[in-house]
Amino acid sequence: MAVLTGINRQDGAPKLRARAQWLYVLVALIFLGLIARLVVLQLVQGERYTFLSENNRVRIKRVPGTRGMIFDREGQLLVDSRPSFDLIFTPEDADDASETLRRLARYLGRDEKELLASVEGSKERLAFEELALGKDVDWPTVVAVETHQLDLPGITLRVRPRRNYADGPSGAHVLGYLGEIGTKQLKTLKDQGYALGDEIGQYGLERRWDGFLRGQSGGQQVEVDALGRRVRVLHEVADVPGYTVRLTLDRELQETAYAALQGKEGTIVALDVNSGAVLAMVSTPAFNPNQFARGIKADEWRALIKDQLRPLSNRATQGQYPPGSTFKIVMSIAGLEEGVLQPENRISDPGFYYFGNRAFRDWKKDGHGAVDLHRAIVESCDVYFYQLGPRLGIDAIAKWARALGLGEKTGIALDDEKGGTVPDSEWKVKRFHQPWYPGETVSVAIGQGYLTVTPLQMANMMATVANGGTLYRPWIVSRVESVTGALIRQFGPEKIRHTEIKPDTLERVRNGLADVVKTPAGTGGAARSNLVDIAGKTGTAQVVEMKGAYIKSEQLAYFNRDHAWFVSYAPVQNPQIAVAVLIEHGGHGGSVAAPMAKKVIEKFIEQQNRPAGAREARAAGESRAN
Amino acid sequence: MQIDRRLISHFDWTLLLLALAFVFIGVATIYSANYDIVRQQAGALPGRQLTWLGLGLVALFAALAFDYHYIDRIVYPFYGAMLLLLLLVFFVGHSGGGSQRWINLGFFRLQPSEPAKIAVVLVMAKYFQDDEPARGYYLRDLWAPFALAAPLVLLTLIQPDLGTAIILGFVFISMVLMGGLRTRSFLYLVGAGLAFLPVGWHFSKPYQRNRILTFLDPDRDPLGAGYHVIQSQIAIGSGRFFGKGYLHGTQNRLDFLPAQHTDFIFAVFSEEWGFLGCLILLLLFFALIVYCLRIVQRAKDRFGALLVFGMTAIFFWHATINVAMVAGILPVVGVPLPLVSYGGSALASLMFAIGVIMNVSMRRFIF
């Protein structure tokens, strides 16, 4: 009976018993270790921890990194962050909240009831949540609060960097603005260190380059005393300021363009012909980004988004307009390059052109008479290009429009750019499930019909014509630097494509464009300058189709009036700058848009003629002043 | 079945009272953690925990009603059921705090990873109940226990519930060592574990990595991941010798503490009861462990001894890891304080474990 003897000896598990013997020691040691830890926390350091906890005086402060500055191409400051003071009240820190507020009202000369009401109104807040009694308060308030700090328990001043846009609305659409991060944005950006309440670029460069500009948040776990004053910092993580961003934009040109556009809805884009660098980009009506910096009010925001004139849209990159007669530049190049055009051949223009049984009118009622290519460009003869349209065919026209950068996004580093439309037969089938009708080619030939372009594309097209066929991607940011000036990123010209264009073609088109401005018969005489020879082309884009009647644009309802175009480059010899101007419902390009392009170009030439030393000194002076 | 009168005379009152003491300390502390200063009363949590205690007592008596040798027969069905429930969590599970851990049963939510701890003990006790070879077990002898434990650990790990997975792993290793694994083989296992650390790092979630990094360097992120540890230490430390008094813990009251009623309940307790209270609570845990180890040594056979040892290991690892974590000497992993922290599935499972220990304890005289 082996089983029985086993039981009798009560020898259930001898090996386990022996092992368990060791465990008493092990368990005792581990518990002693835990107790030792409690001795340290509760007895040795107990006083310190009591101090920290009993008064609940530990505050968390997240300090966003100071946002980077933005400079123009000559080192002039466009955007920086200045300190601003918010008046903060934490009722838990005051012995008697209403007494504190009464005193504050007295010191500031503010209405006592109004202050009390602002606190009463936020009953929903969490314990120790700070109440903002005033944002970006003025200097006398700061001084008053600082002076009477001891009488005002619970009242503190919080310093916050506030974005400051030196020139207000003139750069609004390019520079953009900041706003508090949205819940949706936060979800996708949480991993990148964004937190609730952070400001984030919501538009323009501020948005597209947010990653470079914003820096890294730091934070402090701060101990404060019973009066809400900071005693010391328990833990601190230093914030890292954002990078400085240098632009290709020129502040003076930007200002000039903005001044020229005052009172109009439109846009001016100026590009460096030989690199695609954006020298100026203004869109009006503009908004004031400083409004966003100080915290935009709900009704201001509502007014902005409801405004029929759409101040929030960047017309240079997002406005899509028929190019009107400015498209004749593309038509001329296409005609010459495809060998369809004999430039010296004259056609006769009776003032209309029949295609099928439909009559297409010239803008000049009685026609231009006998016209060759040169005259057709200079006087913007519609009939000449009407008859050229069907001879080229829509697909050849589209091919050349695209070669010059129309109908596709330029890829500029600004969000929500539009591409415009360059129609061809394939597009028509895809879009409307209908074949292309040759009659539609006649409209496209003078820049109407389905054809739409953005002003940025038109400026880029002019730059391409001026530099002999190289299409650059327009760029705005030239350098990203750390605060110490170390180079982080550098950007330069980027070729999208180069299109071979015969020298003869280029010369004929360029001569035509120069004479548009120079000769008395030219449509762009208003752009004639004493400083420099300008080449350009006017355009008037119809918004509604005139059925038969000759109605002056001025007689139409405002939103039905024509858009005015002027696209240009200068100097005629050795071109440097290309400028596109579009004025919505502005009427005739020659009279409205051309003088604006001239102003910008003249400003540019003035700068070129200034001695180099003077400009550097000015830039240095500006940066020292900051 | 006839109830042996000797069973009643050998009923282990000490263990039952000890267990109830923990639960009542727990309910009182949950009451404090759940206390609303404005309304001057606690929410629903302490009441719910008491309800769970009722269910736990049912589990306890179920566990000691039958001779523990009957358990031998239900080990694999129980194990299978746990495996199934853990798999089920992925399909019908409820998420909370970034992981999928619960199954909704209508009137309550079951967290299968809690009874899974019991399953590991049962399976190992069954496997090791036969006498071990004189030379001890080599690792290659133990492929079967590993194969049984691995799915449970992996399934909790990917929920993800790192805390429970660690407990499962520790209990498993404890059982294997007690079962007779050679010391040298154990060291190989530790070495292999260390070698796999980088792999584990690779598969861990960002928040888990944060906790480890924060533990190594609390200053790394004092506002984010390090915040809880710092606040918890402030709570414990400010309790000093006598504590701030029941319902007077300011860290707790003003919600500075994370997971007040669950993983960080020890911080709430220490703030209000001070070093004295902590010392008593820790000594109670020490007494529980020592008392259970005595039962291990007195059990009448290997199966009984291993059952008790395994259940004891569950209590030991929970208690020490939780206190060490809350006191800032281990990284924050989600391990509750056994019988004290709020949580129904855990309380019921732990009461069942107490029942098993009592079962072995009261039947050691009967043959």
Of the pLDDT bands very low, low, confident and very high (cuts 50, 70, 90), residue A60 is: low
Share of chain A above pLDDT 90, in %: 49
pLDDT digit string, tens, across residues A439-452: 899 999 999 999 99
Residue A224 vs residues A51, A220, A556: alpha-carbon distances, Å: 11, 12, 68
Of the pLDDT bands very low, low, confident and very high (cuts 50, 70, 90), residue A626 is: very low
pLDDT digit string, tens, across residues A228-279: 455 566 667 777 888 999 999 999 999 999 999 998 999 999 999 999 999 9
Q: Is A325 a catalytic residue?
A: yes
Of A16, A62, A221, the CB nearest to B302: A16
Q: Which amino acid is at A129?
A: E
pTM flag (> 0.80)? no
Round the average pLDDT of chain A to a whole number and report it: 85
Of B241, B290, B323, the CB nearest to A24: B290
* Burial track A293-311 (b if 16+ CB lie within 10 A, e otherwise): beebeeeeeeebeeeeebb
Of the pLDDT bands very low, low, confident and very high (cuts 50, 70, 90), residue A64 is: confident
CATH superfamily of A60-247: Penicillin-binding protein 2a (Domain 2) (3.90.1310.10)
d(CA A283, CA B309): 79
| A525 pLDDT above the threshold of 60 | yes
- A125 interface with B at CB cutoff 8 Å: no
pLDDT digit string, tens, across residues A580-592: 999 998 878 788 8
d(CA A224, CA A57): 5
d(CA A152, CA A97): 9
pLDDT digit string, tens, across residues B276-335: 999 999 999 999 999 999 999 999 889 999 999 999 999 999 999 999 999 988 888 889
| Choice among A81, A84, A275, A325 that is catalytic | A325
pLDDT digit string, tens, across residues A527-580: 999 999 999 999 998 876 554 455 565 666 777 788 999 999 999 999 999 999
A223 contact residues in B (CB cutoff 8 A): none
Residue from A17, A40, A42, A216 to probe the interface with B (highest B Cβ count within 10 Å): A42
Under 8 Å CB-to-CB from A585, ≥6 apart: which residues?
A: A265, A543, A558, A559, A560, A561, A562, A563
d(CA A44, CA A42): 6
Q: Which amino acid is at A566?
A: F
Predicted pLDDT of residue A231: 55
Tokens representing A453?
A: 């372009």
Q: How far is B326 from chain A (nearest CA, A)?
A: 11
Predicted pLDDT of residue B118: 95
Predicted pLDDT of residue A157: 83
Query: Look-up: residue for tokens 């964004």?
Result: A194
List the one residue out of A25, A42, A23 whose CA is nearest residue B328: A42
Predicted pLDDT of residue A11: 59
What residue spans of chain B are helical by DSSP H? 5-9, 13-33, 45-65, 71-92, 113-128, 143-157, 162-179, 183-203, 206-216, 225-239, 250-253, 265-298, 302-326, 344-362
d(CA A52, CA A43): 15
A39 contact residues in B (CB cutoff 8 A): 275
pLDDT digit string, tens, across residues A359-410: 888 888 888 888 999 999 999 999 999 999 999 999 999 999 999 999 999 9
The three-class DSSP label of residue B325 is helix
Question: What is the CB neighbour count within 10 angstroms for residue A72?
Answer: 24
Of A12, A24, A56, the CB nearest to B300: A12
Weakest-pLDDT range from A159-168, A186-195, B247-256: B247-256
Residue from A7, A11, A16 to probe the interface with B (highest B Cβ count within 10 Å): A16
Weakest-pLDDT range from A126-140, A447-461, A562-576, B170-184: A126-140
Q: How far is A289 from chain B (nearest CA, A)?
A: 32
| A623 pLDDT above the threshold of 50 | no
| B210 pLDDT above the threshold of 80 | no
- Name the residue of chain B whose CA is nearest to A49's CA: B238
Please give the average per-residue pLDDT across B91-99, as a whole number: 67
A235 contact residues in B (CB cutoff 8 A): 219, 222-223, 226, 230
Q: Do A53 and B241 touch (CB under 8 A)?
A: no
Residue B46 preceded by cis peptide, ω within 30: no
d(CA B293, CA B316): 11
HSE-CB at B281 with a 13 A cutoff on CA atoms is 30
- Name the residue of chain A whose CA is nearest to B273's CA: A42
Predicted pLDDT of residue A586: 84
Better-predicted residue by pLDDT, A57 or A342:
A342
- Name the residue of chain B whose CA is nearest to A233's CA: B222
Predicted pLDDT of residue A622: 46
Residue from A9, A21, A23 to probe the interface with B (highest B Cβ count within 10 Å): A23
Inter-axis angle of helices A394-403 and A438-445, to 10 degrees? 40
ipTM confidence score: 0.92
Weakest-pLDDT range from A46-60, A437-451, A499-513, B218-232: B218-232
Weakest-pLDDT range from A127-136, A327-336, B291-300: A127-136
B233 contact residues in A (CB cutoff 8 A): 41, 49
Q: How far is A127 from chain B (nearest CA, A)?
A: 8
d(CA A315, CA A261): 12
- Domain A251-300+312-612 sits in CATH at 3.40.710.10
Residue B336 preceded by cis peptide, ω within 30: no
d(CA B130, CA A283): 87
Domains of chain A, by residue range, sit at 60-247, 251-300+312-612
Tokens representing A104?
A: 């504050």
Please give the average per-residue pLDDT across A474-482, as a whole number: 94
Pairs across A and B, CB distance < 8 A: 149
Q: How far is A179 from chain B (nearest CA, A)?
A: 23
Please give the average per-residue pLDDT across B123-138, as a whole number: 88
Q: How far is B241 from chain A (nearest CA, A)?
A: 6
